């Protein structure tokens, strides 16, 4: 389906859910994950030479694409988790690369075999891991988490306390987690897991989003 800014997303009729905001997939990803996540993390830790990012819900690869083309002096190691990778047909239907004139980068991201680390460009390494959120067992390996699961209305099990506890353990001190969701129970679960959580203005069509920090 086509969203409000002209970018495509995938609609899941069995869940009555789509991968991105119907108001605009590109503008949602840029606001939530790049502006409020990546740029904030870089501002907070300006001396980092390498930024390690973990994405919960790799999906269409949109967040990875926008991160790969972000101009910064910092090298990025990006781990994208996805239990159910999208099909080649679904990838071919996405128009992000064409819209932002980065089709080659988009195709490179999707041509990388699952579970193999590869270089996308000079400053961006990617590994896509086919795994569930429940199986996360990283220990202080990441500086930033993009939490981009389907919403708690349709898949509440992806937003429970234990998921955020493992996300908290996966982050280093002062690490950041961002998500488009601002539901009260999600915020409380993040806080109980240990995050210092703030509500932030959301992307078009959504009043608020959440950002958490692992304050040590």
Q: Give every CB contact of residue 73 below 8 A, 6+ residues apart in sequence.
A: none
179-209, pLDDT tens digit by residue?
A: 999 999 999 999 999 999 999 999 988 899 9
Cα-based distances in Å from 193 to 39, 79, 114, 160: 24, 22, 30, 10
* Rounded Cα–Cα distance for residues 29 and 192 (Å): 26
* Rounded Cα–Cα distance for residues 114 and 22 (Å): 28
Which backbone phi and psi does 38 adopt, to 5 degrees?
-60, -50
Evaluate whether 114 touches 128 at the Cβ level (below 8 Å): yes
Set out the domains of the chain in order of their start, with CATH numbers. Answer: 11-213 (3.40.50.150)
Structure tokens at 17: 């859910």
Looking at the chain, how many residues does it have? 216
Give residue 18's pLDDT: 55
Give residue 205's pLDDT: 85
Q: Quick check: 4 pLDDT over 70?
A: no
Mean pLDDT of 79-89: 95
Angle formed by the axes of helices 184-193 and 161-170, nearest 10°: 50
* Rounded Cα–Cα distance for residues 139 and 167 (Å): 9
CA angle 138/44/204 to nearest 5° reads: 90
Question: What is the distance of C-alpha 147 from the center of its chain?
Answer: 5
Structure tokens at 75: 């090298």
Q: Which residue's structure tokens are 């047909």?
A: 89
Between β-strands 208-213 and 171-179, what pairing exists: parallel, antiparallel or unpaired?
Answer: antiparallel
Q: Quick check: 6 pLDDT over 90?
A: no
* Rounded Cα–Cα distance for residues 48 and 25 (Å): 29
Mean pLDDT of 69-97: 92
Q: Quick check: 14 pLDDT over 70?
A: no
């Amino acid at each position: 389906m086509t969203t409000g800014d002209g970018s495509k997303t995938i609609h899941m009729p069995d869940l009555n859910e789509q991968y991105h905001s119907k108001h605009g997939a590109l503008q949602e990803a840029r606001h939530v994950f790049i502006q409020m996540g990546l740029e904030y993390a870089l501002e907070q830790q300006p001396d980092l030479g390498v930024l390690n990012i973990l994405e919960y819900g790799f999906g269409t690869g949109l967040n990875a694409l926008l991160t790969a083309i972000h101009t910064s002096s910092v090298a990025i190691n990006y781990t994208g988790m996805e239990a159910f990778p999208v099909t080649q047909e679904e990838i071919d239907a996405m128009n992000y690369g064409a819209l932002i004139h980065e089709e080659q980068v988009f195709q490179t991201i999707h041509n990388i075999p699952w579970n193999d680390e590869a270089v996308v460009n000079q400053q961006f390494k990617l590994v896509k891991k086919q795994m569930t959120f429940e199986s996360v067992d990283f220990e202080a390996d990441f500086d930033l988490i993009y939490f981009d699961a389907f919403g708690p209305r349709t898949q509440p099990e992806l937003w429970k306390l234990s998921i955020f506890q493992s996300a908290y353990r996966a982050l280093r001190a002062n690490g950041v987690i961002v998500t488009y969701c601002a539901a009260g129970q999600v915020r409380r679960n993040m806080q109980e897991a240990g995050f210092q959580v703030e509500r932030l203005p959301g992307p078009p069509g959504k009043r608020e989003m959440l950002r958490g920090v692992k304050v040590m």
